Amino acid sequence: MPSPPALLCAAVQRRDIAALTRLLAGGASPEEVDTKGRTPLMVAALTGQVEAMEALLAAGALIDRRGGSEGWSALHFAADAGLVEVVRALVRAGADVRTRDKFAATPLSAAACAGHDAVVEVLLGAGADMEARSTHRYTPLARAAMHGRTAVVRRLLAAGANRFATNMAGRQPFQLALESGVVDCIVALAADARDVATIVEWLEHRRALPADRTNANAGHIRAASAALEVLAAGGDGIPPAVSAAAAARCAAAATT
């Protein structure tokens, strides 16, 4: 006989493993949903409860079922929350690392967007597709870049992610990073002299805006300027051509 609505979810929320076990033994369905459209497994994943997840899976919970406002699987919830051990447990149990939400975003994309580098590492190791595109054609690298997640950007680049992939608006991760206001993220994605030119053009455009809009973008303008100076100084990981182009731009600016 099915349980009253969301009793299992409530037990998981309370972290009451005894009640959860009792309800499952009494025939409660592990596929009930709470008022947010989440199954008990999703709630357990979101709240980092591996023991509860194992009990639910043993009772027949569907590991890849999607729910909630964005159509996330349990793995999406865990990846977004940065719960490495939960992600590992779900992967071991057979969760699909390439599943997509209603916007076609994968768990890797969720982790990249939230900046959870350790989760990204686990998902890549489990075969996640680092070039998977969401509805608006954002790759995980693009999501990480637009939110200034430098550690994730570096990990994805080291794994071979395409730094030139464009979204639906034709923008590459480097261009998205400029909007993040995170110096190290901008520097990590600079690949050639064209990116230096993009920084200069971006700065010229922002500085030409009306004063109120320029002031609103002051932090991002400072970050882009600082990134240009870091690139000009050169160093580990900065391509020589990028450093030379940035140095030339900085020198030209100093004489004007």
Report the alpha-carbon distance of residue 4 to residue 96 in Å, rounded: 30
Domains annotated on the chain, with CATH: 1-62 (1.25.40.20), 70-173 (1.25.40.20), 190-256 (no CATH)
Q: What pLDDT, on a 0 to 100 scale, did the predictor assign at position 2?
A: 41
Residue 235: pLDDT over 90: no
* Per-residue model confidence as pLDDT tens digits over 111-139: 999 999 999 999 999 999 999 999 999 99
* Per-residue model confidence as pLDDT tens digits over 30-48: 999 999 999 999 999 999 9
Residue 214: pLDDT over 70: no
Q: What pLDDT, on a 0 to 100 scale, did the predictor assign at position 115?
A: 98
* Per-residue model confidence as pLDDT tens digits over 97-111: 999 999 999 999 999
Report the alpha-carbon distance of residue 16 to residue 124 in Å, rounded: 33
* Per-residue model confidence as pLDDT tens digits over 56-69: 999 999 999 999 99
pLDDT level of residue 211 (50, 70, 90 thresholds) = confident
- Report residue 72: phi and psi, to 5°: -90, 150
* Per-residue model confidence as pLDDT tens digits over 133-144: 999 999 999 999
Cβ-Cβ contacts under 8 Å for 202 (sequence gap 6 or more):
178, 224
37: DSSP letter: S
- Work out the angle at residue 46's Cα, subtended by the Cα atoms of residues 100 and 124, and round it to the nearest 5 degrees: 50
Q: What pLDDT, on a 0 to 100 scale, did the predictor assign at position 254?
A: 80
**Coil, helix or strand at residue 220:** helix
Predicted TM-score (pTM) of the model is 0.93
Report the alpha-carbon distance of residue 36 to residue 246 in Å, rounded: 50
* Per-residue model confidence as pLDDT tens digits over 7-29: 999 999 999 999 999 999 999 99
Cβ-Cβ contacts under 8 Å for 101 (sequence gap 6 or more):
66, 70, 71, 72, 73, 76, 110
